[in-house]
């Protein structure tokens, strides 16, 4: 049996020409599960199999400067819509990771009850809301400082 091959340059050329054939891993599984086609046959039908998603991934994040107050403060802990944001690198700068889950504990959201929990909400949702110009809740714990 002769093994079929295709170079990365050939695939990139097809994509650049608008002729690239891209499937998700789910589409590949569907085709294989149909039982009417072998993996070797599929080689001729597809150029790229994607295994990722279009969802926020662990390296996606947003760095926000929340603006200084009077008197100046240093944020020590911060939550945006109940999602923890890292607050250790600037007085009022926070980093919100897209894959960070909501943390509805008494520090993050003391005003929320168990019925308010949104377990499928996380940093990616908050970033999406910020980009869309929607209002989000901010809760921060900090200390006054004279450095600013």
- Catalytic: which of 8, 16, 17, 147? 147
Active site residue 78: no
Residue 136 has pLDDT above 70, yes or no: yes
Q: What is the pLDDT of residues 51-96, one digit of tens each?
A: 766 565 667 889 999 888 888 889 999 999 889 999 988 888 999 9
Q: What is the pLDDT of residues 7-44, one digit of tens each?
A: 999 999 999 999 999 998 888 888 888 877 887 888 88
Distance CA 123, CA 16 (A): 34
DSSP 58-94: TT-EEEEE----SS-EEEEEEEETTEEEB--SSSSEE
């Amino acid at each position: 049996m002769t093994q079929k091959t295709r170079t990365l340059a050939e695939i990139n050329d097809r994509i650049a020409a608008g002729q690239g054939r891209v499937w998700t891993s789910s589409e590949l599984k569907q085709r294989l599960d149909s039982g009417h086609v072998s993996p070797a046959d599929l080689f001729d039908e597809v150029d790229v199999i994607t295994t990722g998603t279009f969802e926020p991934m662990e390296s996606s994040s947003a760095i926000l400067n929340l603006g200084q107050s009077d008197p100046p403060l240093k944020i020590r802990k911060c939550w945006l819509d109940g999602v923890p944001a890292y607050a250790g690198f600037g007085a009022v700068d926070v980093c919100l990771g897209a894959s960070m889950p909501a943390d509805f504990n008494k520090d993050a959201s003391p005003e929320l009850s168990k019925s308010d929990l949104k377990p499928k909400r996380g940093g990616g949702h908050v970033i999406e809301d910020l980009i869309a110009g929607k209002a989000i809740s901010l809760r921060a714990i900090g200390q006054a400082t004279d450095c600013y």
